[in-house]
Structure 1
């Protein structure tokens, strides 16, 4: 293992939940696209179907544009402050603005109808059935999986291109947020910890880190007002997980969006 800690990340609002789910799916997609056999291609297409389902349930274009605009407005307010690294600020604002322009240029909501591919739409429809994309169910898919890698990659690139602007924006937003916040050492008494959040602060994500050899995992719940954590012993055999009976030390970081983010990203040392 390369890290001393295991991190548990929990989003504090629905927008962050969707963004982090998408981020994980895109990383999963990258992994399978790097493979070369039929099962890698099947897994990549299946992940694309999952991404499409997330898109179909949310107006991600509108949500992402709101978040980009919020970051841009905040950074513009700081442009005249002393100690600002103006070159770095300009680069960040250019990234935000160019990403927003690409999204604005995208027509309408992205969903299954946006994909001009009969094959992918058929795969998507059959994917809700366990094993529904078998060769005897979808001979056209079976044929596609047997084609040369170049042909498959051409189709995959076409399907993935629809999601690329949103992915760029989500990566940008999450990167900004994760670079904010300060870390404190806390103790969960008998495996329980609860905190109330300041209403004046736009908290986005909670991150809890446990030393890798700590014999517990963390269950986190909460929203914009407070969050609760329970440190649980993993299940063994037929015994369900149970809360720790001893105090547990951990690292806590509350990720925010406004002032702290600006100081981390654009103030000169």
Structure 2
């Protein structure tokens, strides 16, 4: 299945938070590299969302727990047939480096950006629709008129502290995504359900569809069972479940 569309669904709160942060870090990285001031705005919006998420949850502890869990799992499979020792050593090293970098963060993740007076002012006004326009926050407008190099350097001063978090999340999610082989399945009349092994709880579901299919999956589930309905998007009105048998690839990421 080439150029497939991939949809993901987390099966626990930890992975749900990691996926949201991954999304925001990707948004931040993309827009911070662009010179236009509108892109700088989008980058700062992503940064403020990252700060908000890390303020509500102890991401440092959750990341370290997940890294330790992955290291323990890898240690158990070290001597199994078919395991590439060199590749395993590389993954071990990456996880240990990520854990060390997280340990080096002083205090709560994102505290430098969270305590910055400038970002506080922008965040306060951004909670109002259109509230971060030039007359509401003239200091922000002044910042956006500065040369791109200065804007990027200022953003880097806020994000240097949280870059290890981005790298750790990328590594943890990469291990989960590549932990199982996709299965070719068919959803009769666009519906599929399956039980999960409670002894080896899945972390994440990945559904891949061929580009020729104009449907998308609505996934619901928990650690014991999940279901998928393939829906057709309508230009007007509510989406409807397809009536076709839909072939797809399913990956239950257990790692």
Could you say which TM-score interval applies, normalised by the shorter chain?
A: over 0.9
Task: Say if 2:241 is the partner of 1:243.
Answer: yes
Task: Say if 2:167 is the partner of 1:138.
Answer: no
CA drift of 1:130 comes to 0.8
CA contact (8 A) 2:2 2:210 kept: no
| Distance in 1, Cα, partners of 2:113 & 2:167 | 19
Q: Which residue of 1 aligns with 2:190?
A: 191
Unaligned 5+ runs, structure 2:
none
Unaligned 5+ runs, structure 1:
258-269
CA drift of 1:215 comes to 2.5
| Distance in 2, Cα, partners of 1:71 & 1:256 | 11
Quickly say closer, same or farther: Cα 1:79–1:67, change in 2 above 3 A: same
Deviations 1:203-234 (A, max 9, x none): 11111111111121111111111111111111
Deviations 1:57-84 (A, max 9, x none): 2110000000000111222234445654
TM-score by length of 1: 0.88
Quickly say closer, same or farther: Cα 1:232–1:175, change in 2 above 3 A: same
| Distance in 1, Cα, partners of 2:79 & 2:181 | 25
| Distance in 1, Cα, partners of 2:6 & 2:147 | 40
TM-score by length of 2: 0.93
CA drift of 1:183 comes to 1.8
Query: When the two structures are aligned, how many residues end up with a matched partner?
Result: 255
| Distance in 1, Cα, partners of 2:91 & 2:244 | 45
| Distance in 1, Cα, partners of 2:4 & 2:210 | 4
Quickly say closer, same or farther: Cα 1:245–1:78, change in 2 above 3 A: closer
Q: Match for 2:253 among 244, 252, 255?
A: 255
| Distance in 2, Cα, partners of 1:163 & 1:116 | 14
